[in-house]
Amino acid sequence: RIRTAESYRMVYTNYQRDLLEMEYRSKEFIDKKDRERIAGQTGLDDSQIKYWFQNRRVRDKRKNKR
Specify the CATH number for the domain of residue 42.
1.10.10.60
Can you give the length of the chain in residues?
66
* Cβ atoms of residues 42 and 15 within 8 Å: yes
Q: Quick check: helix, strand or coil at residue 53? A: helix
Helix 32-42 and helix 46-65, axial crossing angle in degrees, nearest 10: 110
Q: What is the reported pLDDT for 2?
A: 61
- The span from the CA of 4 to the CA of 11, in Å, is 12
Asked if pLDDT for residue 47 goes beyond 70, the answer is: yes
pLDDT in tens, 18-34: 999 999 999 999 999 99
Number of domains making up the chain: 1
DSSP percent split of the chain into helix, strand, coil, nearest 5: 65, 10, 25
In a domain, 52, yes or no: yes
Q: pTM, whole model, 2 decimals?
A: 0.83
In a domain, 7, yes or no: no
In a domain, 2, yes or no: no
Domain that holds residue 26: 13-65
